Amino acid sequence: MILSWLNDVTEGLQSFFTGMRTTGKFLVENLRDEGGAKAVTRQYPLHAAEVVGERQRGHLHNKADICIVCHACDTACPVDCFKMDGERDGNNKMRASRFDIDLSKCIYCGLCVRACPTDSLSMTADFQMDPRLDGERYLFRRNSSQLDVHLDAADVGRLQQLSRLPREQLSPADREWLDARIDVRGQHLIGMYGLGYFTPEEKAQADAEREAKKKAKDAAAAAAKAKAAAEAKTKAEAPSAGGPG
């Protein structure tokens, strides 16, 4: 029992001096303003960060234009913070009509970024943001009743336009429309990175374009097949035509 106690004391002292040696090394580097420990603790938000590391895992962002809505990020996410929907355009390509990230759930692990096959997801270097709008990304507080509000492409454009204006400059109608989709007291901070759903007219047009292209492709394939068959038949008949009569 005494030997076990002495062993515990020895290991504790070794760990203590190892930690103090590391701390002392960084302390000396800080005092000399050299090495990799030049950064000191800053009292945020009184003192803004001057340098942000290249490996900083800031807020998650999705580039909707190249997103194929494959749900790889949704599968990899350990906290289920994604909600997405997709529609096929006239070229039969998936587009992210809705791609919401519940930033109140995100733990900034970066697993979704690794899983994304198109590199549309990225972790920005930003560590602070406007809860209504941040650059070209939509960042809104929403309550539970607003999380499933259906936004078409025109709504997304209107949301971007209205959110950039001071509230006092909005008309009563615009203010009412915005309040139905944004709640400054909302419990969920949502990053909206979708393109918006097709309207019924846009969806019908995309379906018609896709069907027309499919028919044209099928017709071209049928014509190529018929041409190949005709050429094969001609080649097969050629020896008999040239033989003795």
Structural domain tally of the chain? 1
Length of the chain: 245
Domain containing residue 161? 60-192
- Quick check: 132 and 190 in contact, CB under 8 A? no
Element (H, E) at 61: strand 60-62
CA dihedral 207, 212, 218, 221 (to 10 degrees): -130
- Quick check: 207 and 95 in contact, CB under 8 A? no
Asked whether residue 237 is domain-assigned, the answer is: no
Query: What pLDDT was estimated at residue 245?
Result: 47
Rounded alpha-carbon distances, angstroms, from residue 144 to 64, 100, 129, 244: 24, 14, 22, 88
Asked whether residue 105 is domain-assigned, the answer is: yes
Bridge partner residues of 138 (DSSP): 133, 192
Task: Average pLDDT across each block of 10 residues of the chain; the chain has 245 residues. List them in order.
Answer: 86 91 82 64 72 78 93 95 93 93 92 94 82 77 88 91 88 92 88 92 92 92 89 78 50
Asked whether residue 66 is domain-assigned, the answer is: yes
Rounded Cα distance between 19 and 23, Å, is 6
Asked whether residue 245 is domain-assigned, the answer is: no
| CATH label of the domain that carries residue 123 | 3.30.70.20
Query: What pLDDT was estimated at residue 50?
Result: 66
Asked whether residue 108 is domain-assigned, the answer is: yes
Asked whether residue 170 is domain-assigned, the answer is: yes
Query: What pLDDT was estimated at residue 40?
Result: 63
Asked whether residue 25 is domain-assigned, the answer is: no
Phi, psi values for residue 215, rounded to 5°: -65, -40
Q: Look up the pTM and report it.
A: 0.70
Asked whether residue 121 is domain-assigned, the answer is: yes
